[in-house]
Copies of this chain bind each other. A is one copy, B any other.
Amino acid sequence: MNGWYGKILRVNLTNSTTSVETVDPQFAKDYIGGRGWAIKCLMDGMDPKADALSPENLLIFAAGPLTGSPAPTGNRYMVVTKSPLTGVLTNSNSGGDFPTWMKRTGFDMFIFEGRAERPVYLWINNDQVEIRSAEHIWGKQVPETTDALLAETDGKAKVACIGPAGERLVKAAAIMNDKDRAAARSGVGAVMGSKNLKAVVCQGTHQIGMADRPGMKKLSQSMNQEVGHDSKTSVLRIYGTPYVPDVTNELGILPTRNFQTGRFEGVEKINGPALNESFLIRPGACFRCPIVCNRITKVDAPGYEGEGEGPEYESIGALGSACGVDNLAAITKANYLCNEYGMDTITAGMTIACAMEMCEAGIIPEEEIGYPLKFGDADGMIEFVKKMALREGFGDKLAEGSYALAESYGRPEFSISAKKLEFPGYDPRGAKGMGLLYATSNIGASHMSGDLAYAEVFGTPEKIDPLTIENKPELIKRFEDAFTLIDASGLCVFLAVRYVFDKDVNLWPTRLTELMNLTTGADYTPATLMQAAERVFNLERLFLLEAGVTKADDTLPKRMLEEPLTEGPAAGQVVELDEMLPRFYQVRGWDENGVPTPEKLAELGISA
């Protein structure tokens, strides 16, 4: 096959065995790759009701057909598994260099099953696969782990690993690659920790076949130029994602003090210009990426010293404004700590924000925390990031995530989450489509699952009214399917800033279809490619339903549904989810309970 190798590496950690499976070409095409292949293997290979931290759960690393191709941003991989934080599916995406090196091993996907008796890591050098002891690196932070593994394998290899948070089964634990890049959300690092799998190290010389290599080179070059010259990607190089706080604050949807408001008085201290002037060393990029959105930073401020990558906008929102913290040195330090311990900055920051509000409200007694945890306390925020990662003291409760924390005090409404996954940095009361997305995404409140903020906040492909609910169900279906396609193909969502939807042609992913066909030789049309993405999305929904999700779980916190924002352009607004959800089910071809109809499944070729 072209594009795909059609080879899956299966690693049974319980028995310390590995095997190679070949993939049927029709399956390859029907499920695209990446997130798509992975959900099919997850569905076929495990009981969706299984405990996420049990050996029954499968942990899947999946590259797409465009990962490692010349396509701009063609360098992402997905971690797909059942989430211990949410109890439902997750898929978590990362870039850096690792995804291309993963593809160079000659496999499209790694499936980890079972649990190793003692800590191990996997060393894959082309077809040489070794399960090696990781006892000597267990307990080490991400940078030390990475350096140690490069030293004992091949200095030119690439490493994905967990840190102390993953080892301790912290439900915000991430899988880190290339030290600072994260497949962060939903506790994928805890699943890896539960399997006693410390790291995966990849090196290889395989090159994917290409149906039309000259054509692919030509198209990729021209897209590279277009995306490199695009003003919507240029801003990502100038400021990185930290250009966003100003935008969301202006719209009144910057998460502030656990979403009590959407405007933060300290925004100018934590925005892109502030980061550029204080801590930026230089912009950085994932492998061969023309967008260059990373921030290579260094903090010299006493007490906050460190260096690494970030913070991204989401980390600034969660560790900063959501916690009422306007100290950018502290936010950046906390971001470094999350990377070093291997922990999702969003769940970490938002869970601490939740604890701050509950402590201020007297619901969590200060004595229990052992500290007066209040909004605006930069050093307290940092301290509890550490405690959370290490499950020390009250950190043990934080480590379960905001929903479990709030529920344990009988007040789950303080957790600003959907399906127990903490919200990212867009208050949906001022961006209604995002509310519907958070409620219906297959992994909980993730902007990465169909980021309508592109249109509602940033005007891509064109600006739409963020406050209306009209047409939002239709758009969310479209965006969810499109982002599924990006994830499945192995591209970065930032390419979507320019390419996924061509507004001139009815939101069809025409250029992605060309890339896919030149690479794989499949004769996708924009319609059949979007249908394949819809197939993937629906299969994910079936996994959720089998795991026990019902219509009642497609919801949002009370604050979003009943408490209007009080300032800014969205003052007075809540999310009218009840009005959008039934229409969304209809648009999706699901029944009134959110279950795909037999007709829809037949149309998509999914056998029930």
Q: Name A residues whose Cβ lies closer than 8 Å to a Cβ of B.
A: 70, 97, 217, 221, 224-225, 228-229, 231, 234-235, 237-238, 273, 276-277, 280-290, 292
Contact = CB atoms under 8 A, between A and B. Distances in A.
B231 A237 contact: no
Oligomer: number of copies: 2
Contacts of A217: 273, 277
Contacts of A286: 282
A406 to B, nearest CB: 40
A221 B292 contact: no
Nearest to A298: B156
Contact of A229 (B221, B238, B281): B238
B237 A292 contact: yes
Nearest to A96: B282
Contacts of A283: 285, 289-290, 292
A212 to B, nearest CB: 15
A290 B284 CA distance: 11
A292 B282 CA distance: 8
B282 A288 contact: yes
Nearest to A226: B238
Nearest to A294: B282
B288 A280 contact: yes
Contact of A228 (B225, B237, B273, B289): B237
Contacts of A289: 282-283
Given A282-B287, A283-B290, A287-B281, A276 B224 contact: yes
A273 B228 CA distance: 13
A494 to B, nearest CB: 14
A228 B224 contact: no
A518 to B, nearest CB: 14
A290 B229 contact: no
Contacts of A235: 225, 228-229
Contacts of A221: 273, 276
A237 B290 contact: yes
A187 to B, nearest CB: 30
Contacts of A231: 229
Given A237-B237, A237-B290, 19 more contacts: A97-B281, A217-B273, A217-B277, A224-B238, A224-B276, A228-B235, A228-B237, A229-B231, A229-B234, A229-B235, A234-B234, A237-B292, A276-B288, A280-B288, A282-B288, A282-B292, A283-B285, A284-B284, A292-B292
